[in-house]
Amino acid sequence: MAAKFITLEGMDGAGKSTHIPNIIQMLTARGVEVVSTREPGGTLLGEKLRALLLHESMHPETETLLMFAARREHIAQVIAPALARGAYVLSDRFTDATYAYQAGAKGVEADKVVQLEHWVQAGLQPDITLLFDVPVEVSVARLSSAREPDKFERESAEFFAKIRAAYLLRARENPDRFKVIDANQPLAEVYKAVEAVIAAL
């Protein structure tokens, strides 16, 4: 079975992380080695950068550069080696998040993100991206009852609306890679939609 790179994307509060254990179970049941990871993070250095990115105020371009610094290490240490040995890599966020958050919501020029993407990834792209989509008001309501929020989760509804719009634009621009999941359904229905995408792999 050929290696696959699967990413999960969505606004904060969309519920994507909830489905990671189920996806791992689906894949391992098919005899697949699964490497589950996340961004920012995934490596010792990446996790240190994650703490800065989620809690320290900084210029949006600085934020973007740090995201890609963490990503370069992530690819070199985790993603590329796993794919090379035939494993499935399941990442909670990847570069689409940078297009949504830093470019879409914070105004970093998309061309700059494209340049960093080409340099850092050298052509590496996910095979499939599951975009968990919910209305902004649902995201905000879910976050209001969550744990202590990070700096992104404390942002305004307008901020989240920009993120959602950027994600949906990415999905329209990359229809072969993106599978949009209606995450504003009962959990069992979302699970069925996710299972259908994974089974099709």
Q: Which helix (H) or strand (E) holds 128?
A: strand 128-133
Say which range, 4-18, 26-40, 48-62, 94-108, has the weakest mean pLDDT.
Answer: 4-18
Amino acid found at 51? A
Predicted model pTM: 0.92
The amino acid that residue 118 corresponds to is H
Does the pLDDT at position 128 exceed 70?
Answer: yes
Give me the mean pLDDT over the 42-63 stretch. Answer: 96
Question: What would the pLDDT profile of 35-48 be if each residue is shown by its tens digit?
Answer: 999 999 999 999 99
List CB contacts of 29: < 8 A, sequence separation 6 or more.
none
Tokens, residue 178: 């993106």
Give the max Cα distance, the chain: 44
Select from 113, 96, 95, 91 the least CA-distant residue to 42.
91
Provide the β-strand partners of residue 88.
4, 34
Rounded to 10 degrees, what is the CA torsion of 57, 132, 122, 116? -30
CB 141 within 8 A of CB 157: no
pLDDT at 157: 80
Question: Which CATH fold topology does 4-200 show?
Answer: Rossmann fold (3.40.50)
**pLDDT at residue 141, as a whole number:** 72
72 HSE (CA, 13 A, CB side) = 11
pLDDT for the residue 136: 82
Domain boundaries defined on the chain: 4-200
The residues pairing with 199 across neighbouring beta strands, listed in sequence order, are: none
